[in-house]
Every structure is written in C-alpha cells, then in structure tokens.
Amino acid sequence: MPADGGPNDGRSHCRGEAMTATTVQPSESSESETLVLARRATDRAVRHLLSRQDEQGWWKGDLETNVTMDAEDLMLRHFLGIQNPDVLDAAGRYIRSQQAADGTWATFHGGPPELSATVEAYVALRLAGDPPDAPHMAAASAWVRNNGGVASSRVFTRIWLALFGWWRWEDLPELPPEIIYFPPWLPLNLYDFGCWARQTIVPLTVVSAKRPVRPAPFSLDELHADPRRPNPPRPAAPLASWDGAFQRLDRALHLYRKVALRPLRRAALRSCARWIVERQENDGCWGGIQPPAVYSVIALHLLGYDLDHPVMRAGLESLDRFAVWREDGSRMIEACQSPVWDTCLAVIALADAGLAPDHPALVKSADWMLAEEIDRPGDWSVKRPRLAPGGWAFEFDNDNYPDIDDTAEVILALRRVDHPRPERIAAAVRRGVRWTLGMQSRNGAWGAFDVDNTSPLPNRLPFCDFGEVIDPPSADVTAHVVEMLAHEGGARDPRTRRAVGWLLAEQEPSGAWFGRWGTNYVYGTGSVVPALVAAGLPATHPAIRRAVRWLESVQNEDGGWGEDQRSYPDPEWIGHGASTASQTAWALLALLAAGERESKAVERGVGWLAATQDQDGSWDEPYFTGTGFPWDFSINYHLYRLVFPLTALGRYVSGEATGARPRRT
C-alpha cells in the first residue's frame, strides 16, 4: 500500500501531490527526439502509476471539489451534537487554506468568488471558533453583504442556515414528502430526477416537513445585506413564464402544508424512511456520494433514529471515510470516491503504454473489478424492469446505481488483460454489454445512470438551484459506449449505428463536442473522435476533419491544451484556459485517432507533456478538469493528471491510434 495514506480506512490515500518539474524542455526537435522524450516520460509514468496501486488491486486518487463539503460536514456534526475538537480544528485548517486573498471562496481552482460557498465556509469557520472581527472573517462577511447577503445564496445554503434558525423555513421552497407516492408516469415523480438528485430530494422532503431548528450558538447579522430585513421577499416572475408558474406552484404547496391530511403525511414520512433505509449501501453510505448521506442521516434522525441505531452508526462511519487527512494536519472531505473509474482508466493507460497484458498488476486489478460487478437490480430497473443486472458503479459501494460510463470503460479495461481465467472476463463483459445496450435511450444515445431521464420540469423547481438534476444522454458517455461496442465487434450493430448518427448530429458548428462529465469541449471532442474512428469512420470523414481543425485552433502557445470551467456559462472561454496534463492528453487522443501522429500539433502537445512531467512521473494539475454539474459543481480528479497523459503518450509511442497492447520487455 502506498505510504502517503491518511488515518482513515485506507481508501483515500492516493494523493498525487506534485514534485519539482523535470528540467527537460521542448525544442524544435525532430520527431525522433520527440519520440525519445515520449518514451522516457512514458516509462516514468508507468513506474509511478504502478507504485500507487493498492494491494487489493485498485487505484484511487483524491476527488477534490469545494469547501461546501467541509462546511456541511461541520454543520451536520454540530446539528447532531457530535462535534470532535480534532475534526473541527483540521476542517478549519483546510477551509482557511482555500480562502482567496479577497476573503472569498471559489468552487474551483482559479475561479471567481462564489456566494454560497463563501457563506457556508464563513459559517463553518465561526463554528470552528474564528471570531467575526478577525481580518479573514471580516473580509468574507463584507464581500457577502456587498453581493446580496444570505438572501441571494442558493436554496441548499439557506436550508443549512434554517437548521439553526438563521433563516426562516417559511421562506424556503416547499417539498412535500407525499412526492414519494407519485407513480413513474406522473410529471415530477422521483424518477424524473437524476439519481443523485433523487437520493438527495427524498431525505430533504423529510427535513422540509419537520422544519427542525437547533438553537444557533451565535447570530449571523453580519451576513445580511440589511439585518433589519434578513428575509426579503423575492420578486415574482411573470405568470406566463415557467419560473412564474413554478413560483405559484410553490405557494400552493405552502398552503397544502397547512391542510395536508395528518395520516397521509405520517404515512408519507414512513415511506420516505423506508425508501432511504432500503438504499443504504453495505458500507453505510448512500449511493457512494456524500450529500445524500448527509441528508439521509439528518432525515432519519428527525424520524426518531437515535445515533446508536445500526443504520445511523453505519451512516456516520461512512461519512468518516470521505475524509482525507493531509500532511499539514488539515482534513478535506471528498464528495465522492472514484476507485472503479480510476482503476479502469489506470488499466487502460498501463496497457496502452505497453505493459504486458498478463502483468500481475493488471491481473490483480481485473480480479478486483470483476468482484465489483453489480448483480442485482437498482433504481434503473423502474424504467427497465425486464433488463437483467450487470455493469459497474463509480464507487466502492453503490449497488443501486451502476453507471453506463464506468461500465463501458471497465469492459475496455478488462479486454486489455490476459487473465488466467478468460471465461470470467468473457462472462462479465457479456453481462455488461447486455445491460448497457438495454439502457440505450430512445434517441439512440446514453445518459450516465438512467434511461430517457430528460423531463424539463425538475430543473424548473425553485428547490433545484444547486445544479443539474436530470440525466439526459451526453456525447461523452455515448462515445465511450460506442467505442466499447466497436471493440466488442458491434460496430455494425444497428444500435451502435444509431448512436453514431446521434453523435454526428451533436457536433457543434465549430467541430467540437460538448463535454458533460469533463471540462468541456476538449473532453467531449477527446471522447468522441476515438469512438467514431473505432466505429469505422475514416479519418477523412468531414466530422473528423472539423474536430481536428478545432483542436488545432485552440492549442495554446506552449503546446498544451486547457479549458476553464467558465466555458460552461461563457462561450468566450470555450477551448481556452491554462494548459493541463489531462486536457492536453484528451486533445492528443483525438488527434492520434484522427491519424495526426506526424502533425506539428501532436509533436508540440507530446513535447509539452514531456517537458512538464514531474520527477516522480506524474504531472502537477491544480486546475479542475472534471465536471459534476456543468458550472455548478466542478471536480479535480487527482489521478486524471497521470492516467490520461500516460494513455496518450503510450498511443503516441506505439503508433496505435486507438489503443494498442504491445508487450513491454
């Protein structure tokens, strides 16, 4: 096991901290010189990645998001009365370390100040003992006041404040627990929401119904733009608009609360509790992600589950496993953990870099992935009741929600391994392919977790201002499935051809594809081009040529590629940002697949990777290149900086455009 693990369960120890960059510099070199640099960089990266494998066979890098995870963890512990001084101190250290010079907090590295994150971080530091007149606190509160105060923060932030009496429950959107009884055909039923939103909304209906208040240890007058009117009314939207219609619906729900039949309300709360408990994973978490776990613990506590109840004990213990303890004594909370995703990407990277298919590290990782296959129905079966289970989830424990993206990449990884029992690989792949095909949406594409999860209504709810709450098909997920199906011999299958047609129709006029789960058009394009080539499109196809021209047009002067999170709301940022290792690799993967190995753009990109590699074989990447919700929730996957550059370098060195498996000597 790597030596940089923290005092947790051993799952969160892959850090990927940067070391001093190598002194090798790119030059106007011949291809052979570039190839020599690429081979050296590949060898270093292979050695480093192998050193990071857990003894059980998996890889996992830190999954870094923003300080709202840490702030809400502290508020939860204060609400439940289980605050630990060591945790409080360590969390405070981390939150302070992320504060900008102007007193604010952003939601991604180098990003602009964000109001809700700043409010929540400020409250958490108050709970940690920081006085409001301390310079860093005064700067934060002044900025909050000047930007609308608490009243302008998101609904979720104000829910947390309402738990302590810092905001009035009456001034929050109403979410009745009776929604649990809506049948799947009724608009705004639970299965109209994406799985991450569904798991959050059910417990929040309990919280909304109970409206608990724990006495606040201090006031927050300093966070209100006008302390005399801390809860100013929001302006009414035009009745003829969607926002206006849903505002009126929310008013009706507030009235319903006053007249709701008590027996029906009690029954709905019991049904919500049963729904929550049934979806608790074996390790105590919910869906393998932190936010639903936090709200589920609060909801069950409000419904009478004491802290010693087995469900509660397991839930609280699972939350501790989201903590990453750092060498400086600080403590960061991961919103999620990504071992299956990281492991399959690591296997692909190592195999494409030429590691022998029967190498013990690959065999061990294949055994671990095989053991992670999901063999029981989950919430996806509401839409596909006759579909047999199969596939893989993203996390250590998340049997309710396997996802299509992980399943496609795990299959691609397993096929790269020469396993001593090939029949095990073949059987798992067969089940995974069958399940994936069964999850195809009507338009021929794939979402991440559900089928045809495209209703426009959930995003309109006043309650849902925290990011994307539906799971429509996306180009990146669909591309990974197409690539997998092509490698499985299904390039000519009508279902694959429909998906290829959908991808071609989704190409932007610029030649790029939108990236739903990675940032952003560089990720989408880097995913789609290799898939289209694997599915049989020639490199001369007009769509491929447009993509190549776009990638060449957005290459940075230093030879790398980068794209900022601001490309989601602001078209001026599309394809623009500081060069990063992962985004440079995505661009290279597309260009190599398009037959551009001899191009100047590829040579410069490979040269940039070789020149910026750290001495340990990895790359430094503080920028966030992963996406949870476009713009609203950004992710820095700490292993992306290693696995994707290694994949790209390996394919460049081998000359195989879409992933060869030559043996390493």
**Residues with a known catalytic role:** 405
Find out whether 289 and 396 touch, Cβ atoms under 8 Å. Answer: no
Phi-psi region of 119 (alpha: psi -120 to 50; beta: other; left: phi over 0): alpha
How far apart CA 658 and CA 530 sit, in angstroms, is: 6
602 C-beta neighbours (distance < 10 Å), count: 24
**Token digits of residue 607:** 């040269």
Alpha helices in 188-261 (DSSP H): 195-210, 242-259
As a whole number of angstroms, the distance between CA 123 and CA 157 comes to: 10
| Residue 66 contacts residue 332 (beta carbons within 8 Å) | no
Could you give the CA distance from residue 26 to residue 607 in angstroms, rounded to a whole number? 5
Those residues whose C-beta lies under 8 Å from the C-beta of residue 348, and which sit 6 or more positions away, are 409, 412, 413, 416, 643, 647, 659
CA dist 626 and 665 (Å) reads: 34
* DSSP codes of every residue in 91-153: HHHHHHHT--TTS---SSTTPPP-HHHHHHHHHHHHHTT--TTSHHHHHHHHHHHHTT-GGGS
Give the integer Cα–Cα distance in Å for 528 and 462: 35
Give the three-state DSSP class for 464: coil
- The whole-angstrom separation of Cα 566 and Cα 305 is 42
Residues in the chain: 665
| Alpha-carbon gap, residue 554 to 574, rounded angstroms | 9
Half-sphere exposure of 130 (CA within 13 A, CB side): 23
Q: Are 435 and 378 in contact (CB under 8 A)?
A: no
CA atoms within 13 A on the CB side of 646: 29
Nearest-10 Cα torsion for 455, 459, 464, 469: 60
Contact 394, 340 (CB under 8 A): yes
Contact 631, 107 (CB under 8 A): no
Tell me the three state secondary structure of residue 574. Answer: coil
At how many degrees (to 10) do helices 290-302 and 195-210 cross? 30
Residue 595 CA to residue 589 CA, distance in Å, equals 10
End-to-end C-alpha distance for the chain, whole angstroms:
25
- Cα–chain-centroid distance for residue 296? 20
Q: Are 180 and 202 in contact (CB under 8 A)?
A: yes
Q: d(Cα 625, Cα 519) in Å, to the nearest integer?
A: 5
Q: Is the dihedral of CA 248, 250, 251, 252 positive or negative?
A: positive
